[in-house]
Amino acid sequence: MRSVFSMLFALVSALMLGLAAGAMWMVPTLYSQRALPWLALPLGWLLGKAVRHWVRPAGGNAAILAAFATFAAVLYVNVLMAAARIAGLMGLGLVDSLRTAGPRMLLQLAELSCSPTDDVWFIASMGLAAFIALRPAHQPKAGD
């Protein structure tokens, strides 16, 4: 029972970490007023490092959680961008456009706005996050 609770807590924590990273990614995206899919790579690296230092022992579970957190960040920023477009076109606030459009429409709009090149960036970032989380953390030596 304890291992199930621990894994569930790790999954929820990875989801929250991914959503926070997606919100952080949203700031430069909104500022530039265009999609910045290449930012997925540094974000995947950052999430991979965070999960690697957080999950003990680093390994397969850490890699899966890092890729999941990166996927959550990618999905969240794309949904927020779709809501921001709706808000700008219809003169609504962001929260009003999120509420009015609903999750299904926002997911469809996010899917329509992504190009195959964007998908390559996103998949590469999930792979990078998993690779970084899979490697063991550097242990400082006695003289460091």
pLDDT band (50, 70, 90) for residue 139: low
Is the per-residue pLDDT at 143 higher than 70? no
Is the per-residue pLDDT at 3 higher than 70? yes
11-69 pLDDT, tens digit each: 899 999 999 999 999 999 988 888 899 999 999 999 999 998 887 777 788 899 999 99
pLDDT, position 124: 97
pLDDT band (50, 70, 90) for residue 7: confident
d(CA 96, CA 88) in angstroms, rounded, equals 11
Token couple for 91: 């003169």
What are the CA-CA distances from residue 122 to residues 33, 36, 40, 45, 103 (Å)? 19, 11, 6, 12, 21
Comparing 7 with 131, which gets the higher pLDDT? Answer: 131
Is the per-residue pLDDT at 110 higher than 60? yes
Percent of the chain at pLDDT > 70 equals: 93
d(CA 103, CA 99) in angstroms, rounded, equals 8
